[in-house]
Structure 1
């Protein structure tokens, strides 16, 4: 990412913390200030403050990353705009919150007296903490090329970035990749439980389940074939895999439940937009 960039990270929970870990591990980490009222630890690689008034007076953020609960965003933006004032003259907001729209967040800034701060949106996921994130990314026309590039580089520092042309597409991004790691973790959890049920020692079941998920993910990343082709390649006719897939691929099993799950997550993301 560009040297000498200044980033204010607002909120350092699961996702904010994952982003922070990824940025600190990058070859050229930015100057970072973390604003989180629950975070008290100090680290020489960044500055931690609990309220906006504690932000160093010489700190002028290029990007303000909003990683708070969606319902808290307006109050946080108002506090930042009032406290930082003209120090926001070159800043853009990068929201990694589900649901909240660019227009809605920009309106909160305008109500606090800041009329020209663009809002860029992204939906990363928690594997960003180990540099293996996948982020959907939307940039409105109001953002400058420098702001666009800096936000893109921030996300690239923690994994892969997929740009979408329409902000509404972020609801689907949230449902698939933003929430997606939880679905994969659930699969590993269920495989482990099934192994124990069938008599395997718990450590063995865990190692087999996690190793299988990891290996399959590596194949998906490394191989050019479609996922369906990889599935078919490991499925011998009338074999053990086919017997399992007959259950998982029955009309009322995975094809229906996965679709319903993604629909539910996307619908919730749209509800959070207000």
Structure 2
């Protein structure tokens, strides 16, 4: 696959048998986009679930991400080869730089050019970035060109809509992937989202996901429960009205959940 499927399965925080079951259930239910990362410590388990699953590799879209320890020119490609070995794959569909180098200790151009080289070697079909600010995105564009950046994956949910970065990425023609679209489940108890869910005979998670999909984002919720994996998929069939979209847009309160100590200065 060369296009990023709009609906994917995130695997952050899932370990061991839990992630094997989540991916196996996801594949059975119809998920075709699986998102992992070096730092998740579950690439081998994700690879195992895919290997024993009944979905052909060419029908899947698999993403992994290069951790900050591996951003130097001499480490990036060997680390990606190690990820491929764990995943039991010759190539992933998309490789992202997971975070900019802490304190910009390595230039963006260094790791973007090396990632482009990994693509040229056939280790990954597409390349992209994650958790980049506008400043980092500008440097990445200068290094490899906007057309080479398949997606920017950032935290987007009703309570953190990241509008400045979204608008800049769109102005450059860069696609967006929304991670943590359910805000660790906080959408489930928000009165506004609960009310809209009632009107659609849906659950709040489905409404939050529909809101994300309707804006053209790829969205990658995760779940360990088969029932939730299945109900999340049904969000694709929900169409929110313009009024409902506006009401959810008004919930933005800048509530960032992924903000480690090495995070960049956010826009």
Taking structure 1 as the reference length, what is the TM-score of the superposition? 0.36
Taking structure 2 as the reference length, what is the TM-score of the superposition? 0.37
Question: Which is richer in helix?
Answer: 1
